[in-house]
């Protein structure tokens, strides 16, 4: 067992209210992507509070070169597997590319994901999602909005690049974030933005903020599981740290991640971006 741990394994199911309370108390929470029952069980044992069934499964499980080919049936299949292995983590599931291009299409597909076992759905985008988020929220579906680098728009963005680097771009992310929160977004997730922007957004928005490559000051961190176990194919992104070192087991690596996020040692400066 990983020895220098301060992790308290949750004894009750993690709810959205609990995550909101953790933000209010300044207590960091953790998130990892996961796609099956066995890894979910290990993450439960390590005290990971939230699990993201990410459409990154297209790349790390299916071997695709982007997340675009992932279907709603793929996401339902993996959400159901995670749900079966889960004891208490809060399960978030990505809505895949083009499964939420209109509000009614989004409602139909979000319903499938919630029935498969998700506790929340995640959508990528800005202001154009306001009507969709309002509809989902009014129908009782919790929503996480993913801003900054949105991998489903990789071809529009011209690659996997840091976003929000100049003032106009940073101001736009803030404006769109506030619009999505007023439409009903319950959690915001920022990918690949400068650390200072991650900090100011986290201080400004009233909902929990999860970051990946968004600096050390967000309310929570997320990493793709394969990346943090050092089994990614190709060169890892700057924000990635391999926790499967020093003879650790996989479960110990999850525990080390939880410990380092909670005590503020991950992410370190070397994992973050400047404006
Ligand atoms: O699909 C995914 O794994 C994600 C994370 C990169 C946040 O959206």
The verdict on residue 146 lying in a domain is: yes
**What integer pLDDT is reported at residue 7 of this predicted model?**
65
pLDDT of 6 higher than 70: no
Vertex 94, ends 216 and 45: CA angle to 5°? 60
**What integer pLDDT is reported at residue 234 of this predicted model?**
87
Q: What is the pLDDT of residues 27-81, one digit of tens each?
A: 999 999 999 999 999 999 999 999 999 999 999 999 999 999 999 999 999 999 9
Residue from 29, 122, 24 nearest 67 by CA: 122
The alpha carbon of 50 and the centre of ligand 1 are apart by a number of angstroms equal to 13
Contact 250, 41 (CB under 8 A): no
The verdict on residue 252 lying in a domain is: yes
The alpha carbon of 224 and the centre of ligand 1 are apart by a number of angstroms equal to 7
Residue 55 assigned to a binding site: yes
**What integer pLDDT is reported at residue 39 of this predicted model?**
98
| Mutational pocket test of ligand 1: of 35, 50, 54, 232, the residue with most ligand atoms within 8 Å of the beta carbon | 54
Q: What is the pLDDT of residues 223-254, one digit of tens each?
A: 999 999 999 888 999 999 999 999 999 999 99
Q: How many CA atoms lie within 13 A of 259 on its CB side?
A: 15
* Structural domain containing residue 205: 16-271
Residue 122 Cα: closest atom of ligand 1: 8
pLDDT of 1 higher than 90: no
CA-nearest residue, atom 1 of ligand 1: 54
The verdict on residue 1 lying in a domain is: no
**What integer pLDDT is reported at residue 11 of this predicted model?**
76
Q: How many domains is the chain partitioned into structurally?
A: 1
State percent of the chain over pLDDT 70. 97
Return the active site residues: 191
The verdict on residue 8 lying in a domain is: no
Measured between alpha carbons, how far is 232 from 156 in angstroms, rounded to an integer?
Answer: 24
**What integer pLDDT is reported at residue 168 of this predicted model?**
98
Contact 269, 63 (CB under 8 A): no
The verdict on residue 31 lying in a domain is: yes
The alpha carbon of 66 and the centre of ligand 1 are apart by a number of angstroms equal to 11
Q: What is the pLDDT of residues 73-128, one digit of tens each?
A: 999 999 999 999 999 999 999 999 999 999 999 999 999 999 999 999 999 999 99
Q: Which residue has the higher pLDDT, 108 or 6?
A: 108
Residue from 144, 48, 131 nearest 93 by CA: 144
The verdict on residue 139 lying in a domain is: yes
The verdict on residue 59 lying in a domain is: yes
Here the CATH number for the domain that contains residue 42 is: 3.20.20.60
Q: What is the pTM of this model?
A: 0.97
The verdict on residue 220 lying in a domain is: yes
How confident is the model over 208-218, as a mean pLDDT?
A: 98
Residue 36 assigned to a binding site: no
Average pLDDT along the chain: 96
pLDDT-derived band at 158 (thresholds 50, 70, 90) equals: very high
Residue from 36, 108, 44, 123 nearest 79 by CA: 36
| Mutational pocket test of ligand 1: of 68, 146, 238, the residue with most ligand atoms within 8 Å of the beta carbon | 146
């Amino acid at each position: 067992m990983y020895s220098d741990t301060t992790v308290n394994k949750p004894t009750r199911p993690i709810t959205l209210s609990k995550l909101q309370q953790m933000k209010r108390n300044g207590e960091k929470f953790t998130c990892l992507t996961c796609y099956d029952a066995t890894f979910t069980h290990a993450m439960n044992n390590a005290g990971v509070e939230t699990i993201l069934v990410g459409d990154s499964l297209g790349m790390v499980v299916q071997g695709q070169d982007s997340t675009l080919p992932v279907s709603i049936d793929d996401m339902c299949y993996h959400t159901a597997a995670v749900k079966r292995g889960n004891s208490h983590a809060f399960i978030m599931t990505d809505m895949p590319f083009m499964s939420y291009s209109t509000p009614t299409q989004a409602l139909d597909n979000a319903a499938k994901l919630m029935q498969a076992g998700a506790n929340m759905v995640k959508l990528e985008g800005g202001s154009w999602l306001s009507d969709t988020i309002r509809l989902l929220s009014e129908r009782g579906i919790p929503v996480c909005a993913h801003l900054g680098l949105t991998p489903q728009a990789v071809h529009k963005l011209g690659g996997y690049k840091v976003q929000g680097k100049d003032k106009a771009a940073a101001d736009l992310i803030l404006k769109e974030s506030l619009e999505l929160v007023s439409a009903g977004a319950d959690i915001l997730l920022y990918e690949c933005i400068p650390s200072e922007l991650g900090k100011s957004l986290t201080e400004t928005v009233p909902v929990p903020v999860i970051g990946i490559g968004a600096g050390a000051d967000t309310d929570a961190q997320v990493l793709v599981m394969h990346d943090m176990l050092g089994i990614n194919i190709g060169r890892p992104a700057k924000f990635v740290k391999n926790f499967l070192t020093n003879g650790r087991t996989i479960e110990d690596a999850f525990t080390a991640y939880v410990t380092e996020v909670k005590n503020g040692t991950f992410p370190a400066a070397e994992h973050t971006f400047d404006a």
